[in-house]
Structure 1
Amino acid sequence: MRRTFAPWADPQAKPLIRVDNVTKRFGDAVAVDHLTLDIFEGEFFCLLGPSGCGKTTLMRMLAGFEYPTEGVITLAGQSLEGVPPYRRPVNMMFQSYALFPHMSVEKNIAFGLKQDGLPKPEIADRVGEMLRLVQLEKLAKRYPSQLSGGQRQRVALARALAKRPKVLLLDEPLGALDKKLREETQFELMDIQHELGMTFVVVTHDQEEAMTMADRIAVMDHGRIVQVADPGEIYEQPKTRFIAEFVGDVNILEGHVMGQENGLWRVKTASAETPLTIDDPDEVLHSGQAVAIAVRPEKMTIQREKPGPEAVNVLTGEVWDIGYLGDWTVYRIKLATGEILRVSRANVSRFVESPIDWDEQVYVTFEPGAAVILAE
């Protein structure tokens, strides 16, 4: 289902949320700068970017805690201008969870429903449904102080979902969890979102979190959206150097375009003895243009033996550092120019005969299609 979900690719599909040329200023500071964005019903959408890029401000405008200085935000075709938070079909799960310490789990979940004046039987049914959804039935009578961080996170999620909003906003929802629990919860959130068919909008600065959960990611920088795409495209085809460096690890090689040969770009760089050969048909370049070549560490190979004369994209260096990560080993290779490359090798075998060691001279290669040319 997730693989076939792509309403943004349908020109007839209407977005659930439309952010139209929105700007938000705080005095002289511009937090969100003429931003336009569409989010579709049933989408797990992620706003990704460094601290201060404007992603949380945009989410607060969706929630109604802030209002645009300029521009319009619409939800299901209705303008949200002047609509207070409690009148919007939107709920927000805060990073701190904001649970009531004097209320039990079930009373925390029921709080918003009671405020809305729902009948007691319906409240009981809805609370029971949410407890089952987040697998906390046995902890219904406990108080927040008696729960682990992961359990408190589930209570906050259940409370936010209980009112059945059209859109659930999640502000750094997994930031307080340890790494292992955070990874497990990512998949649980995906399952819950898919089961409910609800629209989730999550704010995070964690690239791995965004790549795992989102149908699409909007990468933000200085109040603007730099690229909106699915995780695979963001990682494999970044539009700018900022995105390539922010999302995942990457090696950047500076050079100048020499021209094309057999449909492949030839790029002269000080990092290699011979020009690099790059297969990137999407780029329109001219001879002499300064460019950056982006190559992910796992797309490079490392070996002791000098490659044959038919090999392309060969760089020579010395092993500077080695990091063993269990499933991967990361090599930091120092080139003659002083540049440091990161090369990742999967540990597919428990034992490796004569492994590459510190201070060895090695050769690093990559295929023409493994790199992306960044003109910006």
Structure 2
Amino acid sequence: MNSLGSIRRSFAPWTDPSAKPYIEFRNVTKRFGDFTAVNDLSLSIYEREFFALLGASGCGKSTLLRMLAGFEEPTSGSILLDGQDLRGIPPYRRPVNMMFQSYALFPHMTVEQNIAFGLKQDGMAKVEIEQRVAEMLKLVKLSQFAKRKPHQLSGGQRQRVALARAVAKRPKVLLLDEPLGALDKKLREETQFELMDLQQKLGLTFVVVTHDQEEAMTMADRIAILDKGEVMQVATPAEVYEAPGSRFVAGFVGTVNIFEGKVSAREGVAATIMTDGGVIRSENASDATVGSDVAFAIRPEKIKVSSKEPAPGIDNAMQGEVYDIAYLGDMTVYHVKLPSGQVVRASALNAARVTEDPLTWDDTAWISFRPDAGVILTR
């Protein structure tokens, strides 16, 4: 059986019909006055899953997190954790901990005092606190910074202190609200992998809110894409990218070319679509029916650009003109304008230092792609 994308790990309880969700949102609605932040939303998250809530600002992802933490109550519906309804349970009695984007460290306390704070509040014995703090410092590689104050640390180090403090109480679920938003790009990329390793070591369930699709794709086992308080799709990063469930998801995650058209023929899993750009044959027709209006979505890296016309009989070949070029080092992005006026984005990996088929502005170019390279969307 072929799988979409690379294999991340064998962990996939959502494929097991007998597996019981650890966190459940059941028909949850949250209104603030006349504004509906979350609209009749249902969602299941499994134990030890790294789950991402992804969406633009105002889509309801942070509201979901705050309801799970206990800072907000649903207007209707229920939230369950390990089978227990959380309604009416205050935040400090829930087996969850939340790490905020601002980190919220105490400036007058040292690193070890910050980490120990919650443990002291819980009345843990002094010897146990010292052991737990030492364990956490080692886990986040900050043992040598134990006596420093937050202002003496870098942004990445402060982020790790906040993380250590959040997991020190060993919550069942760790909630992370835009946890890497304050870091620069390079540090953010490094920290993504650190978070993944930490989650694996601790065996906790992580629920992260982010608007950064690359962050969600890198870290999460599954992603829920939200729009206007509703779930548009829940799937693995590879499925979201390679098999988006709608035009919205295809356009929201990564870069995509969309060809609007009508299905003229259907044969098994394949379909032929008539578009303004030309005839497209796709082997990923899903539930498209003959005569229906559909969209064909294809990622730029799946499209080949060449100055040479493909051999006769090749499916999905279209002639156009090079409209724009962007050299990005590892790849070159071409914008090819078709006679219909549609501009198609195609990217070519720069595997060699010298380009064998140099194309420049206003050149005639051919784009082509395999029948299994894109997907037909019916909604």
Task: Report how far residue 144 of structure 1 moved.
Answer: 1.0
Cα distance 1:105–1:364, how it changes in 2: closer, same or farther (>3 A)?
same
Of 324, 329, 337, which aligns to 1:326? 329
Distance in 2 (alpha carbons) for counterparts of 1:132 and 1:262: 56
C-alpha distance after superposition, 1:170-204 (max 9, x if no partner): 00111111111111111100000001110000000
Matched, 1:251 2:254: no
SS of residue matched to 1:370: coil
Q: 2-side partners of 1:263 and 1:249: how far apart?
A: 25
Amino acid across the alignment from 1:58: L
Structure 2 residue identity aligned to 1:298? E
Q: Does 1:305 align with 2:317?
A: no
Instruction: Tell me the residue number matched to 1:11.
Output: 17
Counterpart in 1 of 2:351? 348
- Which among 116, 124, 129 is matched to residue 130 of structure 2? 124
- 1:329 Cα deviation from its structure 2 partner: 1.0
Offset of residue 263 of structure 1 = 5.2
Superposed CA deviations along residues 304-327 of structure 1, whole A, max 9, x for unmatched, are 011121111112211121111111
Query: Are 1:280 and 2:279 matched, yes or no?
Result: no
Is the Cα contact below 8 Å between 2:266 and 2:290 reproduced in 1? no
**Counterparts of 2:324 and 2:129 in 1: how far apart (Å)?**
59
Q: CA deviation at 1:353?
A: 3.9
> How far does residue 283 in structure 1 lie from its aligned partner after superposition?
2.2
Counterparts of 1:1-376 in structure 2 under 5 Å? 3-261=9-267, 264-272=270-278, 275-287=279-291, 289-353=292-356, 355-376=358-379
Partner amino acid, structure 2, of 1:178 = D
Query: Match for 1:86: what amino acid?
Result: Y
Question: How far has the Cα of 1:337 moved from its partner?
Answer: 2.0
State the one-letter code of the partner of 2:350.
N
Q: Give SS of 1:259's match.
A: strand
Per-residue Cα deviation, 1:145-179 (whole angstroms, up to 9, x for no partner): 11111111101100101010000000011111111
Residues 199-250 of structure 1: per-residue CA shift (max 9 Å, x gap):
0000001111111110111111110111111111111110100000000000
* Alignment-mate amino acid for residue 323 of structure 2: W
CA-CA distance at 1:336 after TM superposition: 1.8
Residues 272, 282 of structure 2: 8 Å contact kept: yes
Report the CA distance between 1:282 and its aligned residue: 2.3
Distance 1:309 1:351 in 2: 28
Contact 2:306 2:357 in 1 (8 A): no
Deviates more, 1:141-150 or 1:185-194: 141-150
Q: Which amino acid aligns with 1:103?
A: M
Q: Cα RMSD (Å) of the superposition?
A: 1.2
* TM-score, normalisation: structure 1: 0.97
Contact 2:323/2:335 (CA < 8 Å) preserved in 1?
Answer: yes
- SS across alignment from 1:368: coil
Deviations 1:121-160 (A, max 9, x none): 1111111111111101111111111111111110110010
Following superposition, the deviation at residue 284 of structure 1 comes to 3.4
| Residue pair 2:263, 2:288 contacting (<8 A) in 1 also | no
Structure 1 gap ranges (5+): none
Distance 2:103 2:188 in 1: 15
Which amino acid in structure 2 is aligned with residue 278 of structure 1? S
Q: Distance in 2 between matches of 1:354 and 1:334?
A: 18
Between 333-342 and 114-123, report the one with greater CA deviation.
333-342
TM-score (norm 2): 0.96
Which segments of 5 or more consecutive residues in structure 2 lack a partner in the other structure?
1-6
Task: Kindly provide the amino acid, as one letter, of the partner of residue 303 in structure 1.
Answer: S
Amino acid of the residue matched to residue 144 of structure 2? K
Give the Cα separation in 1 of the matches to 2:337 and 2:41. Answer: 41
Q: Out of 121-130 and 346-355, give the one that drifted further.
A: 346-355
Task: Provide, for residues 19-76 of structure 1, a one-character-per-residue CA deviation record: whole Å limited to 9, x for no partner.
Answer: 1110000011100000111111100000011111100000000000000000011111
Separation (CA, whole Å) in 1 of partners of 2:159 and 2:28? 31
Which ranges of 4 or more aligned residues in structure 1 deviate by more than 3 Å? none
> How much has 1:2 moved relative to structure 2?
5.3
Identical residues among aligned pairs (%)? 62
Hey, what does 2:4 align to over in structure 1?
none
